[in-house]
Chains A and B, each alone.
Chain A
Amino acid sequence: MKRLALLLGLIVALSLVVTSCAPKPGVIKIGVNAELTGGIPVIGQSCKNAAELFVEEVNKAGGTEVGGRKYTIQLLIEDNEDKAESAAAAALKLHTAGVLLMIGPNASRNAIPAAEVAETNKMPMISPWSTNPKTTIDPKTGKPKKYVFRACFIDDFQGVVAAKFGVELGVKKPAVLFDVASEYNKGIAEVFKKTVEELGYPVVAYETYTTGDKDFSAQLTKIIAAGADGLFLPNYYSEVPLQVQQARKLGFKGIIFGSDSWGNLELIDLCGMDCDGLYFTTHYAPDIATPQAQAFIKAYQAKYGKVPDDVAALTYDAFGIAVTAIKQAGKIDREAVVEALRKISRYEGVTGVLEYRGTGDPIKSAVVLKVDVPGKKFTYYTTAKP
């Protein structure tokens, strides 16, 4: 058996030599950690689309110039399967593959562990869509992380916007149903509850479920029995339709509203008329696009045949920030890029103006959109400034 071991050892040694890869000259490797399979595949797909669009635009123009030399961008896309441990493993994989920085993941439940891995391995990371504050905060010290940034506002802001909006709509007995197994949902539900109680409207029902549950009748029955007149559903587009339908079926007649995790047209396909006229807070609205944003929307539509959603727009901005930082760093080095990222104080992207004040979290405005089922789109309703 020793001979077999020797043979195996030779094979292993050979493959180690063959596969040690160094980046080709003139190429910047950027990793994308996206939810391509799992419960929210449309989000990963939008992220991937926007990433590929951006890279295509840059490479077509001959690449980007860094430190006097032209570089093309190479994308390494990893699927995190919308699972927290896979997101961490994918981040580790991208790190060992030698990417300059990582864009993604999008869902906070995946972004938070991936951010932990990025920080430990000193790899810069920009999450386009993760709004939970924990992504950029070190759990041990409570201080902002050094290597992790994001392109969107955080839920400390969004939760307040949602709460104030709910009260504006006339909700006096709010209830919440959220996924307790997912960081984003739990985080924003907590901020919502705190804000709405500060405004003088205590929550009458605060029910939970676990990712992947399909039947919410037990929780919804409790909510209705508690006499709620407003239901906040800060959950992802694939679960909200079931929740809305079951709520209506059980006789809930109050106002239902949500947060940026709704922001996908797939919601309309899955939900039908039950979701018509409902509101949610989010990052950007195609209706009120700036000229810069319009150019992006046109290019995206030309390439993919649909209007980009907020994930796509934010991914595009994340790449924009990344490339700006790389250019300012002047060299292909993670430390230099991180320094440059931290120095950016203002960035104008397709999702609006991002102002960074020393941490990885930008200050931005939020918008409220209304679901228009017959028109198969989301229409702009109002803006909320920080």
Chain B
Amino acid sequence: MQTFFQQILNALQLGSVYALIALGYSMVYGIITLINFAHGDIFMVSTYVAFFVGSALMAYAFKLPGLITFLLTMLASMFFTAFLAVMIERFAYRPLRKAPRVSAVITALGVGLFLENFTLATIGPHPRFLPPIIPVHRFTIFGIATSNIQLIIIFVSAIVMFLLDTIVRRTMVGMAMRAISWDKFTVPLMGVPMDRIISITFALGASIAAVGGTLYGFVYTIDPYMGIRIGWWAFISAVIGGIGNIRGAMLGGYLLGLVEIFTPVILPSSTYRDFVAFSLLLLLLIFRPYGLLGRPVTMKV
């Protein structure tokens, strides 16, 4: 029993990160119906930003308390990543808004590849850890082993997700985002500055991914190619939850965290993970194409 709860805790940690990244996919799809395949690599860039900022702060700054350094690193990462995402939207996606969907998707793939290899070429392939901004304390509660970092990941993610939900449901910006995802043509006629809202959406999605990135860098090593796998799993989370749906993305993220942890427990080897995840996706798409929390879209003939 104890092992089971231990695994649940592990799954929550992973699931939080997937959920945070899945949000980016969902938000962008909701607003411009584009699968931003570059999002996983944006996440990867955010971890590197956190790495450099964190290392710089640790090395040069006058000994700030760990919490402040942590917040500063995270904020810096969020800021730079949001900036990057807005630039990508402005220069790579905006020109293609009138073009066929295919071009946009291929561009997204191209941007992703570019980010990966650019990082590889400039920074190098060595896997790294974020510097220990918050010293690790390991302890056990009720016989389940955990650490302060793990709990921080789970709680910070939950708080960020709650904040995002509030922004989307209670603010004007959020209302504008939801309006555009319902009807792209009429809303600008009502005086909503579409370009700006789209940029804000990208910025929000990227900042949230950056939160995930900073947290991720504390427990796992970062390297230029990590965006591929994590990006794909977060993408599956978003689709399973219902792409375009924010709560769906969160749900999907935690679900996939469970899949990742429990597959090697139930099946003989961890190599079945991809198979399970993608088969789930395929089955879901066949029987419930709009995801768990999505809604069907009708098309006029």
Question: Footprint of B on A, CB under 8 Å?
Answer: 36-39, 41-42, 180-181, 207-210, 212-215, 217-219, 221-222, 225, 238, 241-242, 248-251, 266, 270, 272
Q: How far, in whole Å, are A251 and B260 apart by their CA atoms in the complex?
A: 21
Q: How far, in whole Å, are A221 and B226 apart by their CA atoms in the complex?
A: 24
Identity of the chain A residue whose Cβ is nearest the Cβ of B228 in the assembled complex = A212
Cβ of B193 under 8 Å from chain A: no
Most buried by B among A180, A181, A208, A210: A210
Identity of the chain B residue whose Cβ is nearest the Cβ of A181 in the assembled complex = B271
Residues of B within 8 A of A266 (CB): 126
Cβ of B264 under 8 Å from chain A: yes
Residues of B within 8 A of A248 (CB): 138
Determine how close the nearest CB of chain B comes to the CB of A292; give it in whole angstroms.
31
Determine how close the nearest CB of chain B comes to the CB of A339; give it in whole angstroms.
39
Q: How far, in whole Å, are A250 and B271 apart by their CA atoms in the complex?
A: 22
From B3-11, B38-46, B160-168, the one touching the partner chain is B3-11
Q: How far, in whole Å, are A38 and B126 apart by their CA atoms in the complex?
A: 8
A-B contact pairs, 29 of them (CB 8 A): A37-B120, A37-B125, A41-B126, A42-B126, A180-B271, A208-B269, A208-B270, A212-B225, A212-B229, A214-B220, A215-B220, A215-B260, A218-B7, A218-B260, A218-B261, A218-B263, A218-B264, A219-B270, A221-B3, A221-B10, A238-B221, A241-B221, A242-B220, A248-B138, A249-B138, A249-B150, A250-B6, A251-B138, A272-B132
Determine how close the nearest CB of chain A comes to the CB of B100; give it in whole angstroms.
26
Cβ of B129 under 8 Å from chain A: yes
A-B contacts at CB below 8 angstroms, number: 86
Q: How far, in whole Å, are A36 and B262 apart by their CA atoms in the complex?
A: 34
* Known contacts A241-B221, A250-B145, A270-B221; A222/B271 CB under 8 A: no
Cβ of B147 under 8 Å from chain A: yes
* Known contacts A214-B226, A218-B261, A225-B3; A238/B269 CB under 8 A: no
Docked-complex contact B270 and A218, CB < 8 angstroms: yes
Docked-complex contact B138 and A39, CB < 8 angstroms: no
Residues of A within 8 A of B263 (CB): 218
Determine how close the nearest CB of chain A comes to the CB of B43; give it in whole angstroms.
13
The answer, among A210, A218, A221, for a CB contact under 8 Å with B271, is A210
Q: How far, in whole Å, are A272 and B132 apart by their CA atoms in the complex?
A: 10
Docked-complex contact A238 and B127, CB < 8 angstroms: yes
Q: How far, in whole Å, are A272 and B136 apart by their CA atoms in the complex?
A: 12
* Known contacts A41-B124, A212-B229, A249-B145; A180/B269 CB under 8 A: yes
Q: How far, in whole Å, are A37 and B147 apart by their CA atoms in the complex?
A: 33
Cβ of B223 under 8 Å from chain A: yes
Determine how close the nearest CB of chain A comes to the CB of B151; give it in whole angstroms.
12
The contact string, 1 if C-beta is below 8 Å from chain A, for chain B 114-135, is 0000001000111111001000
> 3 smallest A-B Cβ distances: which pairs?
A217-B10, A251-B145, A214-B220
Q: How far, in whole Å, are A225 and B5 apart by their CA atoms in the complex?
A: 12
Residues of B within 8 A of A39 (CB): 125, 127, 223
* Known contacts A218-B270, A221-B3; A251/B221 CB under 8 A: no
Docked-complex contact B14 and A215, CB < 8 angstroms: yes
* Known contacts A213-B270, A218-B10, A251-B145; A207/B264 CB under 8 A: yes
Q: How far, in whole Å, are A266 and B262 apart by their CA atoms in the complex?
A: 31
How many residues in B have their beta carbons less than 8 Å from beta carbons of A?
37
The contact string, 1 if C-beta is below 8 Å from chain A, for chain B 139-175, is 0100001110010000000000000000000000000
Residues of A within 8 A of B269 (CB): 180, 208
Determine how close the nearest CB of chain A comes to the CB of B121; give it in whole angstroms.
9
Q: How far, in whole Å, are A219 and B263 apart by their CA atoms in the complex?
A: 10
Identity of the chain B residue whose Cβ is nearest the Cβ of A217 in the assembled complex = B10
Q: How far, in whole Å, are A209 and B225 apart by their CA atoms in the complex?
A: 18
* Known contacts A266-B126, A270-B129; A208/B271 CB under 8 A: yes
Most buried by A among B6, B7, B140: B6
Residues of A within 8 A of B136 (CB): 249
Question: Footprint of A on B, CB under 8 Å?
Answer: 3, 6-7, 10, 13-14, 120, 124-129, 132, 136, 138, 140, 145-147, 150, 220-221, 223, 225-226, 229, 260-265, 269-271, 273
* Known contacts A218-B264, A248-B138; A210/B145 CB under 8 A: no
Docked-complex contact A251 and B127, CB < 8 angstroms: no
Residues of A within 8 A of B221 (CB): 214, 238, 241-242, 270
Determine how close the nearest CB of chain A comes to the CB of B12; give it in whole angstroms.
11
Determine how close the nearest CB of chain B comes to the CB of A252; give it in whole angstroms.
9
Docked-complex contact A219 and B264, CB < 8 angstroms: yes
Identity of the chain A residue whose Cβ is nearest the Cβ of B145 in the assembled complex = A251
Determine how close the nearest CB of chain B comes to the CB of A241; give it in whole angstroms.
7
Q: How far, in whole Å, are A249 and B10 apart by their CA atoms in the complex?
A: 11
Residues of B within 8 A of A181 (CB): 271
Other than A41-B125, A208-B264, give 19 A-B pairs with Cβ distance below 8 A.
Answer: A37-B125, A39-B127, A42-B126, A180-B271, A208-B270, A210-B270, A210-B271, A213-B270, A217-B261, A218-B261, A219-B264, A221-B3, A221-B10, A238-B223, A241-B129, A249-B147, A250-B6, A270-B129, A272-B132
The answer, among A37, A209, A221, for a CB contact under 8 Å with B7, is A221
Identity of the chain B residue whose Cβ is nearest the Cβ of A214 in the assembled complex = B220
The answer, among B126, B146, B265, for a CB contact under 8 Å with A218, is B265
Q: How far, in whole Å, are A221 and B127 apart by their CA atoms in the complex?
A: 24
Determine how close the nearest CB of chain A comes to the CB of B283; give it in whole angstroms.
23
Identity of the chain A residue whose Cβ is nearest the Cβ of B268 in the assembled complex = A208
Q: How far, in whole Å, are A250 and B10 apart by their CA atoms in the complex?
A: 10
Determine how close the nearest CB of chain B comes to the CB of A211; give it in whole angstroms.
10
Residues of B within 8 A of A38 (CB): 125
Residues of B within 8 A of A217 (CB): 6-7, 10, 13, 261
Q: How far, in whole Å, are A210 and B126 apart by their CA atoms in the complex?
A: 19
Most buried by A among B128, B150, B270: B270
Q: How far, in whole Å, are A14 and B225 apart by their CA atoms in the complex?
A: 39
Determine how close the nearest CB of chain A comes to the CB of B276; give it in whole angstroms.
13
Q: How far, in whole Å, are A8 and B265 apart by their CA atoms in the complex?
A: 58
Q: How far, in whole Å, are A221 and B13 apart by their CA atoms in the complex?
A: 15
Residues of A within 8 A of B271 (CB): 180-181, 208, 210
Q: How far, in whole Å, are A209 and B229 apart by their CA atoms in the complex?
A: 14
Docked-complex contact B10 and A209, CB < 8 angstroms: no
Identity of the chain A residue whose Cβ is nearest the Cβ of B14 in the assembled complex = A215
Identity of the chain B residue whose Cβ is nearest the Cβ of A238 in the assembled complex = B127
Most buried by B among A36, A181, A249: A249
